């Protein structure tokens, strides 16, 4: 791999290779862009087949976090860490504490959270060595499960979409098809039910479907039926790549708005949705509620403030729809534009010298 060529392609700031012979730690911390603030992003543990694969994943995910934070109005940059190894076999207290020490050496340029393959227990080990951690369990001073906030954000994004398509911000009476009734999907159904939406649901777990039917009067369909169900909103809350060449011709919804990551199989499917008159709420914007919630920990967690910030996802989706119309581009492209415009605006501020560093330097000299 020509690593510097890769870094130059999307202007990555820094990549840190963490190696600890004793604990078996092999990890990569990728920091993409810190124009808006410290890079925040989860740690993923995965048995990558090659080191190139691990580096590529860390870089791709870190860049994604830059866009997500920027479009969500957060004062954060984008970063991600990956640990090479099988989460079922290669975990230990020492390995995660070692990673925590590496994160500490970055002095706050990278803040870690949970991601695929990482448990709250692993986060607690990291936390022993560094304070640059968010998303720990409530009992460890964190904000706990992000899923209810992700669901709340999805609801707000949906609101902005129905406003555009049906000229109302209420989901009362709307038919919403939810694919996946896990952590996010369940809470989303609860919120939609409270709002008076008609739910059509599916999951691979029969018990999750029965629960949604019992608690929210949801109509159950088979997993292979959900994408072609006639509805106002299709909410993918299970897997990525649900919008692809095969599924798209069967869509009978007006809006696609759910929590799943990488909903579009390829970027061109954003355009394909728009051509079919289907409004797409870009995944990384509409599912940012969890990130917005954990980011609040950096200011001393306040649930009310975090909730208010998550509610603003509706405004972000509105801005994206406006950019999409302004530039004549699909909403997935407009989301990137929103993020890039914000980063550009902040980085082009007058470079005023605020005086502080010199003052600090003077004081330090005086004490020597
Ligand atoms: P989860 O694992 O708790 O739930 C996923 C559910 O989808 C499970 O119940 C599973 O049985 C079901 N499922 C899987 N394949 C399916 C299929 N083919 N058809 C129907 N159901 C299927 O995950 P989650 O935390 O609820 O996250 C859901 C999605 O949202 C994921 O793509 C995740 O990456 C994304 N996301 C989650 C959060 C969060 O806060 N949890 C934040 C951002 C994005």
Structure tokens at 265: 């199989």
Residues 6, 68, 80, 325: which is the catalytic one? 80
**How does pLDDT run across 228-273, given as a tens digit for each residue?**
999 999 999 999 999 999 999 999 999 999 999 999 999 999 999 9
Atom of ligand 1 nearest to the CA of 208: 9
Beta pairing, strands 175-179 & 233-236: parallel
List, in sequence order, every residue forming a beta bridge with 33; answer none if it has no partner.
Answer: 78
Q: What is the CATH number of domain 147-343?
A: 3.40.50.720
- 132-165 b/e with 16+ CB inside 10 Å = b? bbbbbbeeeebbbbbbbbbbbbbbbbbbbbbbbb
Nearest to 126 by CA among 90, 105, 104, 97: 97
Residue to probe by mutation, ligand 1, list 80, 185, 246, 295, most atoms within 8 Å of CB: 185
Atom of ligand 1 nearest to the CA of 288: 43
pLDDT surpasses 80 at 338:
yes
Over residues 90-95, the mean pLDDT reads 97
CA of 240 to the centre of ligand 1 (A): 9
List, in sequence order, every residue forming a beta bridge with 320; answer none if it has no partner.
Answer: none
Atom of ligand 1 nearest to the CA of 182: 4
Same CATH topology for 3-64+76-140 and 147-343: the answer is: yes
pTM, 2 dp: 0.93
Closest Cα to atom 39 of ligand 1 = 147
**What's the confidence (pLDDT) of residue 324?**
98
Beta strand extents in the chain (DSSP E only) = 14-20, 25-33, 39-46, 77-84, 110-114, 175-179, 198-202, 219-220, 233-236, 255-256, 279-280
pLDDT band at 20 (very low <50, low <70, confident <90, very high): very high
Pick the CATH number of 3-64+76-140 from 3.40.50.300, 3.30.930.10, 3.80.30.20, 3.40.50.10860: 3.40.50.10860
**Measured distance between the N- and C-terminal CA atoms of the chain, rounded to whole angstroms:** 47
Active site residue 219: no
Give the count of beta carbons closer than 10 Å to the beta carbon of residue 360: 10
CA of 257 to the centre of ligand 1 (A): 14
| Residues above pLDDT 70, as percent of the chain | 97
**How does pLDDT run across 154-199, given as a tens digit for each residue?**
999 999 999 999 999 899 999 999 999 999 999 999 999 999 999 9
**How does pLDDT run across 192-221, given as a tens digit for each residue?**
999 999 999 999 999 999 999 999 999 999
Any residues with CB less than 8 A from the CB of 129 and at least 6 apart, and which?
97, 98, 100, 101, 103, 104
- Domain ranges, ordered by start, for the chain: 3-64+76-140, 147-343
Q: What angle do CA 174, 176, 178 make, to 5 degrees?
A: 165
**What's the confidence (pLDDT) of residue 79?**
98
Over residues 284-304, the mean pLDDT reads 97
């Amino acid at each position: 791999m020509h690593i510097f060529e890769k870094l130059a392609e999307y202007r990555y700031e820094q990549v840190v290779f963490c190696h600890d012979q004793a604990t078996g730690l092999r990890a990569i911390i990728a920091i993409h862009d810190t124009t808006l603030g410290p890079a925040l992003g989860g740690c993923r543990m995965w048995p990558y087949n090659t080191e190139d694969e691990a580096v590529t994943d860390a870089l791709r995910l870190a860049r994604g976090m830059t866009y997500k934070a920027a479009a969500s109005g957060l004062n954060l940059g984008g970063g991600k860490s990956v640990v090479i190894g099988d989460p079922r076999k290669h975990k230990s207290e020492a390995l995660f504490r070692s990673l925590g020490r590496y994160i500490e050496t970055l002095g706050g340029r990278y803040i870690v959270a949970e991601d695929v393959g990482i448990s709250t227990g692993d986060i607690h080990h990291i936390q022993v060595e560094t304070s640059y951690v968010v998303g720990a369990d409530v009992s460890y001073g964190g904000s706990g499960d992000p899923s209810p906030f992700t669901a709340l954000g999805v609801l707000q994004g949906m609101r902005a979409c129905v406003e555009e398509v049906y000229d109302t911000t209420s989901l009362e009476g709307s038919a919403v098809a939810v694919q996946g009734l896990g952590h996010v999907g369940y809470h989303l159904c609860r919120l939609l039910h409270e709002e008076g939406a008609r739910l059509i649901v599916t999951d691979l777990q029969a018990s999750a479907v029965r629960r949604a039917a019992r608690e929210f009067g949801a109509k159950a369909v088979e997993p292979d039926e959900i994408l072609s169900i006639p509805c106002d909103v299709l909410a993918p809350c299970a897997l990525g790549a649900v919008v692809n060449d095969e599924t798209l011709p069967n869509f009978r919804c007006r809006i696609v708005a759910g929590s799943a990551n990488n909903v579009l199989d390829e970027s061109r499917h954003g355009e394909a949705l728009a051509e079919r008159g289907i409004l797409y709420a870009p995944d990384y914007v509409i599912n940012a509620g969890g990130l917005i919630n954990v980011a609040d920990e950096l200011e001393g967690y306040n649930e009310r403030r975090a909730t208010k910030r998550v509610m603003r996802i509706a405004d972000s989706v509105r801005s994206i729809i406006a950019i999409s119309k302004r530039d004549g581009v699909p909403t997935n492209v407009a989301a990137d534009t929103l993020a890039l415009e914000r980063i550009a605006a902040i980085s082009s501020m007058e470079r005023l010298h605020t005086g502080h560093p010199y003052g600090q330097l003077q004081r330090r000299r005086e004490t020597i």
